[in-house]
Amino acid sequence: MTKEKLGLNTICTHVGEIKDEQFKGAISPIYLSSSYEFLDVDVKRYPRYFNTPNQEHLSKKIAALEHTEAALIFASGMAAISHMFFAFLKTGDHIVLQNTLYGGTSNFIREEFPKYGIEFTFTNGSNASDFESAIQANTKLIHIETPSNPLLTITDIKKVADLAKSKGILTSIDNTFASPVNQNPVDFGIDLVMHSATKYFGGHSDICAGAVAGSQEHIDIIWNVSKNLGGSLSDFTVWMLERSMKTMGLRVKAQTKNARKMAKWLNKHESIEKVYYPGLKSHPDYELAKSQMNGFGAMLSFELKEGLDAHKFQKELRLIKSSMSLAGVESTVISPALTSHALLSQEERDTIGIKDGLIRFSVGIESIKDLKADISNAILKTVNTIEKTDA
Ligand SMILES: *Cc1c(COP(=O)(O)O)cnc(C)c1O
């Protein structure tokens, strides 16, 4: 079987399976051993070497999904990011980062890089020119995130990759929001693709994991650092992740379809000011998203009309949970102004477009009519509160 020719759901279901030679079971056995034969073996296996049978095999599925030669699985998305960055950056080097990064990534860079003398620049925007003007003579890596959190801006992947290539700079992307189902950045020239596997890979809000995919040469460089930093994932969770990933294609496609329907519906709702979703024709980068994504993803944000309280709205939802994290089969919402961006001042939030009424919506697989009913009802109750307070 040449895995490049296999369809998405076949890769999800089968690539990287471990054959159960002993009992002929239908699924990969789980190998929990942390100790393996040492004498006269080709591979010295050890969990922190990222090469137990389950780790090694699941990496093949991730590599196949991202169209790369190799991949590594980590204990979290942040372990994947930090091990990847530390593998390619040393004292005196410089990295260019998109301004709208996942909060944990920005914190990691701002808090840790100064200790190691690694220089960094956050761009002013996400156009190729914003990246170009941030490049210095010592720039070694450009890191992007598209679609971005929470306003779903779209970065032109190919333009940034071409720009970096012309200057001999490596590129990496956080592909968590799109997942490999909706976006394969390597096809547009990106070198390294990382994921918080806690999100769509896991998909059931019960796993914390991460992954990086790239060429064998790049993955070997990361491996050399990772074995020292030690962020490997336990085999039990690796096995859980394999189970989850079998349905990733089905889940994410269903979630994406739901998100598109919800975005269109919310866009027409009288109590919603604005909807941020790359699959809406009104999104400024709709055409760009269409050209580089296989689907528009299952994340969207919307702004409640002025005067409607985001906290109250979330409290009134019955089906949709207001909870941190995202990408599970269950729909969740959060208010960025009250959570991820709470530490910024009102003025700073206004400048970057995070209004108090902004709600980030991770769309699940529930029946559309129930999602609509839940939101309609919560809005009605939120509107009624205002009328009561006014009276
Ligand atoms: C959650 C997330 C991360 C961090 O992943 P963890 O598994 O929580 O460490 C990184 N990037 C994005 C876009 C995320 O959503």
Question: pLDDT tens-digit profile of 327-385?
Answer: 999 999 999 988 888 888 888 888 888 999 999 999 999 999 999 999 999 999 999 87
pLDDT of residue 4: 55
pLDDT of residue 1: 47
Ligand 1 centroid vs 130 CA: distance in angstroms?
Answer: 24
DSSP-based helix, strand, coil % in the chain, nearest 5? 40, 15, 45
Q: Three-state DSSP class for 246?
A: coil
pLDDT-above-90 percentage for the chain: 90
Per-residue DSSP letter, 305: P
pLDDT of residue 280: 98
pLDDT of residue 389: 64
Rounded CA-CA distance 245/240 in Å is: 9
Q: Which domains does the chain have, with CATH numbers?
A: 3-245 (3.40.640.10), 249-390 (3.90.1150.10)
Lowest mean pLDDT among 102-106, 128-132, 265-269: 102-106
Catalytic, 174? Answer yes
pLDDT of residue 58: 98
Question: In the predicted model, is pLDDT for residue 390 greater than 80?
Answer: no
Rounded CA-CA distance 52/336 in Å is: 39
pLDDT of residue 262: 98
Average pLDDT over residues 37-41: 94
Catalytic, 191? Answer no
Indicate which residue of 199, 251, 253, 355 is catalytic.
199
Q: What is the pLDDT of residues 290-326, one digit of tens each?
A: 999 999 999 999 999 999 999 999 999 999 999 988 9
102 lines ligand 1 (CB under 6 A): yes
Q: What is the pLDDT of residues 165-180, one digit of tens each?
A: 999 999 999 999 999 9
pTM of the model: 0.95
Place of tokens 């994340």: 299
Of residues 118, 124, 67, 65, the one with CA closest to residue 95 = 118
Give me the residues paired with residue 79 across strands. Answer: none
Catalytic, 102? Answer yes
Residue with the nearest Cα to atom 7 of ligand 1? 77
